[in-house]
Amino acid sequence: MQNLVAGTASFWMAHLSTIIGVAVALLLGIGGTASSRAALGILARWSERHGHRMRAAIFARLLPPVVVGIWALALYFTALAVATPLRLTGLLAILPVVLKVVMLLTIAWAALRVVAVGERAYPAHVAARRGETPDPMLVDAIGKITRILVVAVIGMMVLRELNFSIASLLAFGGVAGIAVGFAAQGVTANLFGALVVYLDRPFKVGEWIVLPSQNVYGTVEHIGWRTTTLRGFDTRPYYVPNQIFNSSVVQTPPRMQARQISTTIAIRYADFDRLEAITEACRQHVDNHPDIDQSLGAMVYFDQYGTHALQIMVWCFTRTVVWAESLAIQERLLIELGRIVRLHGAELALPVSEVRLAGPMPQAAPADMAMAAGGVRPG
């Protein structure tokens, strides 16, 4: 019995430092988690009360990475407390490397979460502070570039901690890049296409565009690194590879200065004597129309002798660029011009076929007339 007690006591005395170290490490993890949760919660609420919603969102998003970092430290000290008395040299050698890698990945995770908050909250933050909304394309581009930089920098730091030679990797990348480049020409072209869109800004999210060479049109929903998503007017999604924007014409109708009206009024040849007065009246009406932009020019002229009508050309621009509003203006203008034609005693022309007879019509025989009247042909 005395030997058992003595053995138990010697065991606890020999491992007392290990037990204390493990207990302290676990208390560090629990206490650090609770304190960080409380501190970040207080900072988030304080920021919310003072109108800093973006800052409050950042504090809230930082909690998971901070907790992971605290527990990484706690587990590191726990492993040290266990491995040191047992002289586990292999474990003691790799523990610092593992801790650094985990902490670097945690920092990258936190940075990416902050970038995500910035992409969502920064436009509203600037609008509330300055009264203007930043360009969504610029915000999206900065977010994507920041993500790439974070991943690249943290990735190189992790590789360095794992004793990988960065110079060797770059040299290998130069050789392998040639082979990969041939296999990834489309991907590279799409990346450069996205970069061109971000820099030149031929369109932005929310605008509708037309790609005549592809027979595709729709509203821009998302601009990615590989494809741009359009939503057609029939609600169909179109995923357009970004490399198309490097070599194709892109039309952006919402950026027009005005919408064009180009039509022809056809008048009967029988109303030729009224043609000059009708043309002048239509010209005066277009020149004085409140919805027609006179700064871009307006023309109303007798254009040509058509196959069945005298043709008056009407060419002008509406002040609005909204398609529906422009169509409504064009509808009213055409009706008003039609009334002007009627007021001058003329009529709009329709296609007419004229049949000319070379001689008098032949007289029908009595028998044929009887048959036409429903009678019986005499035998």
Q: What is the pLDDT of residues 254-292, one digit of tens each?
A: 888 889 999 999 999 999 999 999 999 999 999 999 999
Phi, psi torsion values for 305, nearest 5 degrees? -85, 115
pLDDT tens figures, 117-133: 887 777 766 666 666 66
Question: In this structure, is residue 373 part of a structural domain?
Answer: no
Residue 290 has a pLDDT of 92
Question: In this structure, is residue 376 part of a structural domain?
Answer: no
Q: Tell me, what amino acid is at 22?
A: V
The SS3 of residue 186 is: helix
Residues 266, 128 share a domain: no
- Is-contact 242 290, C-beta < 8 A? no
Residues (pLDDT < 50) of the chain are 2-7, 9, 11-14, 183, 379
Tokens of 329: 């203006």
When divided into structural domains, the chain yields a total of 3
Residues 158, 39 share a domain: yes
Task: List beta partners, residue 231.
Answer: 219, 237
- Is-contact 346 271, C-beta < 8 A? yes
Contacts of 240 (CB under 8 A, 6+ apart): 211, 214, 216, 227, 228, 229, 230
- Is-contact 288 294, C-beta < 8 A? no
Q: Is 240 exposed, middle or buried (0-12, 13-18, 19+ CB in 10 A)?
A: buried
Residues 319, 247 share a domain: no
Q: How many Cα atoms within 13 Å fall on the side-chain side of residue 164?
A: 12
Residues 75, 150 share a domain: yes
Q: How many Cα atoms within 13 Å fall on the side-chain side of residue 324?
A: 0
Residue 357 has a pLDDT of 65
Phi, psi torsion values for 259, nearest 5 degrees? -110, 140
Residue 5 has a pLDDT of 44
CATH number of the domain where residue 200 is located: 2.30.30.60
Question: In this structure, is residue 313 part of a structural domain?
Answer: yes
Residue 142 has a pLDDT of 79
Residue 267 has a pLDDT of 94
Residues 117, 211 share a domain: no
Distances (CA, A) of 22 to 76, 79, 102, 285, 291: 10, 8, 20, 93, 82
Question: In this structure, is residue 34 part of a structural domain?
Answer: yes
Question: In this structure, is residue 3 part of a structural domain?
Answer: no
Residues 262, 302 share a domain: yes
Residue 280 has a pLDDT of 95
- Alpha-carbon distance 177 to 150, whole Å? 22
Residues 267, 243 share a domain: no
Question: In this structure, is residue 26 part of a structural domain?
Answer: yes
Q: How many Cα atoms within 13 Å fall on the side-chain side of residue 235?
A: 0
The SS3 of residue 345 is: coil
Residues 306, 241 share a domain: no
Tokens of 145: 């570039």
How far out from the chain centre does Cα 143 lie? 14
Residues 260, 244 share a domain: no
Q: In the chain, what is the straight-line distance between the N-terminal and C-terminal CA atoms, in Å?
A: 150
| Last residue in a domain, options 130, 164, 198 | 164
Residues 273, 244 share a domain: no
Q: Which helix (H) or strand (E) holds 37?
A: helix 16-49
Question: In this structure, is residue 353 part of a structural domain?
Answer: no
Range of the domain at 114: 13-164
Residues 301, 227 share a domain: no
Residue 11 has a pLDDT of 46
| Residue 163 Ramachandran class (φ > 0 left, ψ -120 to 50 alpha, else beta) | left
Residues 265, 220 share a domain: no
Question: In this structure, is residue 82 part of a structural domain?
Answer: yes
CATH number of the domain where residue 294 is located: 3.30.70.100
